[in-house]
Structure 1
Amino acid sequence: MARALNPALRRTLWRLLGALGVWAALGTPAAAGDTRAGDTRTGDTHAGEWRSWCGDPGSGASLGWHFYCDRQEERREAEPPSAPLDPHSSERTTTATERILELRRALEEARAEAILDPTPAKIAAYLELQRAALQRAAVFSDAFRRTVWASPELDYTLKRPVGALAKQVWSDERREARDAALARLGERYGLIYLGHAGCAGCKVFGPLLRAFAMRHGLDVLAVSLTGEALEGWPEAVPDNGRAVRLGLGNAPVPALVLFDTATKRVLPVGFGVMAEDEMAERIYALTALEPGHDY
């Protein structure tokens, strides 16, 4: 059939067939638009914003050769480079208390493992952790005492010595201050002693209190709850409600209290048998020292 055709016609047919082949190879503009709309280009996985003039995605609308319905590329701002990881950053964010607890847990865990499975390796691991903990404690203790030596305002032993010689000096000074305070006690305070004849403690404490009062020149009002004479205090006066008025109606005996003539308050010195030094120290603390002075 091709032989019977006119040569001019045959050339025209060949041209049309060639154009159709090129057309099929390139694809229609609509197909090109669809392909771009799907954004299937190799290596491009970033989905941008659909261009406003293309209508709905997937509609297949063709706008000609000079319009493409692909996705508009989004601007990507350059991200600042991430800071390199610091292997010691976790130590800075961990508090000292948490680190101490971690060390303590590690030591306890190593000890538990050594107890449950006492192999040489586990016992050695526990001993190594224990040695490290003891070394830390030794360093702290040494630094602590060096700091105290160099900081007299932080040295509590200057206030309450612990050495034998310094403690003796402090005790002598304390005794002098205490005796001076007791000598001035009658200017403001009075001592009241409560007891009764059948009290075993009163039979021991009464004579001690008498000797203490005479040594320091103190006036004592002895009150007998039963109205009878007290051991060491034959001049004791009957109670007649005095104990109740002082707020000591049910107090155990022997009882020794201070009466403050300035404030009209009762300050209990103590209940039960007390030695002379103990009475002197309590009276001195109640009348001459502010709370917290000795601590």
Structure 2
Amino acid sequence: MMKWLVNTITKSSLAITSLVIILLLLINDWSNHAFAGTIDLNANSINKMIGLDLASNNEVKDSTQPKGFLWYNEDHAYKPEILKFSQDQKKQEPELELYDQRIEALKKEFNRAKRKALDDPTLENVIIAQRLHKQILEKSYKFATMWQLATLLDYSLTNENIPANSLHKKLYEIRQDKDSSQKLRFLAKNWGLILQVNQGCNYCQAFIPIVREFADKYGFQLIFVSNSETRFQGIPTIKDTGLLQTLNPAKLVPVLYLIDSSGIQIYPVARGIISEDKIAENILLVIQHYNRLKVNDYDQ
């Protein structure tokens, strides 16, 4: 009886021990696979976790980061190629000299003060604008003085075709009149004048004496051409054969033409009443434009 009891107790102890071991194994397995359980943080596990975290962060960053010209991208701003392009662009822009900077600064300051005074014309604002204007005038006066002095010291800078004073202008006009007279007398040898008139034209009556005096003065042959009549105010006229009709289809009168002796070249030099000086100026302008007269032809 005692032997059976001992065996029973021994078997029970082994069963209990086995049950405890099984329970411990189950608890350990449950703790490893539970929702709130922990992971063995060895080196490989840590690297995997970091890699997964960075990849997920990059995906979120790329998908949610705003893009557009209003978004400041710090990485983009400091890229070497962009900085290099900006530096090269600055090198290409020419730097202003100091005198350019001073003049530009004075001009901008004066324009700003002038606009401010116009917008708010207080005594203070107007005085500021006037002081800046005075600085500009003083610089201009000094420049004009040096310009005149340079012309006096270096005669090659003088332009003889532009009169510098009243006496020079008078002498210049006398010389110009003499040259013009020589040119016109030379032209009169091979060129003539045609005055187109019409009955009932008061302007024609007033213009005829001016044209006659001009033609007699320089020796031009003068012909009167009428649109319809054979005489105009007692002056013999020639009826237009169609040539002037082509040049003057509206039949405006009076019109003065310059025509060469062959009758091929004909140019209008006056429409309406003008002075003798203006007739001469227009004739010389036409001749110069068409290069029909050379200086050597009339120089004495």
TM-score normalised to structure 2 length: 0.57
Instruction: For 1:212 and 1:285, locate their aligned partners in 2 and report how far apart those are by CA, in whole Å.
Output: 16
**Alpha-carbon deviation of 1:192?**
1.2
Determine the structure 2 residue equivalent to 1:148: 151
Q: Which amino acid aligns with 1:144?
A: W
Determine the structure 2 residue equivalent to 1:71: none
Maintained 8 Å contact 2:227/2:251: no
Q: Does 1:202 align with 2:201?
A: no
Q: Which amino acid aligns with 1:252?
A: L
1:228-257 CA distances to partner (integer Å, 9 max, x unpaired)?
A: 4224x6111111323124x22225211111
Equivalent residue of 2:146, what SS? helix
**Alpha-carbon deviation of 1:194?**
0.6
**Alpha-carbon deviation of 1:97?**
6.6
Maintained 8 Å contact 2:194/2:257: yes
Determine the structure 2 residue equivalent to 1:118: 122
Determine the structure 1 residue equivalent to 2:187: 185
Determine the structure 2 residue equivalent to 1:237: 238
Determine the structure 1 residue equivalent to 2:265: 265
**Alpha-carbon deviation of 1:128?**
3.0
Instruction: For 1:117 and 1:173, locate their aligned partners in 2 and report how far apart those are by CA, in whole Å.
Output: 53
Q: Which amino acid aligns with 1:210?
A: R
Determine the structure 1 residue equivalent to 2:137: 134
Determine the structure 1 residue equivalent to 2:8: none
Residues 1-295 of structure 1: pairs in structure 2 closer than 5 A = 93-94=95-96, 100-114=103-117, 116=120, 118=122, 120=124, 122-156=125-159, 158-231=160-233, 234-245=235-246, 247-250=247-250, 252-261=252-261, 264-287=264-287
Q: Which amino acid aligns with 1:160?
A: I
Maintained 8 Å contact 2:254/2:271: yes
Instruction: For 1:189 and 1:170, locate their aligned partners in 2 and report how far apart those are by CA, in whole Å.
Output: 27
Equivalent residue of 1:190, what SS? strand
TM-score normalised to structure 1 length: 0.58
Maintained 8 Å contact 1:181/1:288: no
**Alpha-carbon deviation of 1:273?**
0.7
1:141-165 CA distances to partner (integer Å, 9 max, x unpaired)?
A: 2222223334444433x21325232
Q: Aligned pair in 2 of structure 1 residues 164, 98: CA closer, same or farther (>3 Å)? A: same
Equivalent residue of 2:168, what SS? helix
Instruction: For 1:226 and 1:275, locate their aligned partners in 2 and report how far apart those are by CA, in whole Å.
Output: 27
Maintained 8 Å contact 2:254/2:272: yes
RMSD: 3.6
Q: Which amino acid aligns with 1:222?
A: F
Maintained 8 Å contact 1:197/1:228: no
Equivalent residue of 1:192, what SS? strand
Which structure carries more helix by proportion?
2
Instruction: For 1:97 and 1:251, locate their aligned partners in 2 and report how far apart those are by CA, in whole Å.
Output: 59
Q: Aligned pair in 2 of structure 1 residues 290, 105: CA closer, same or farther (>3 Å)? A: farther
Equivalent residue of 1:187, what SS? coil
Determine the structure 2 residue equivalent to 1:24: none
Q: Which runs of 5+ in 1 are unaligned?
A: 1-33, 35-56, 60-91
Q: How many residues align?
A: 206
Q: Aligned pair in 2 of structure 1 residues 153, 248: CA closer, same or farther (>3 Å)? A: farther
Q: Which amino acid aligns with 1:118?
A: T
Q: Aligned pair in 2 of structure 1 residues 242, 150: CA closer, same or farther (>3 Å)? A: same
- Aligned-pair identity in percent equals 22
Determine the structure 1 residue equivalent to 2:67: none
Instruction: For 2:117 and 2:212, locate their aligned partners in 1 and report how far apart those are by CA, in whole Å.
Output: 66
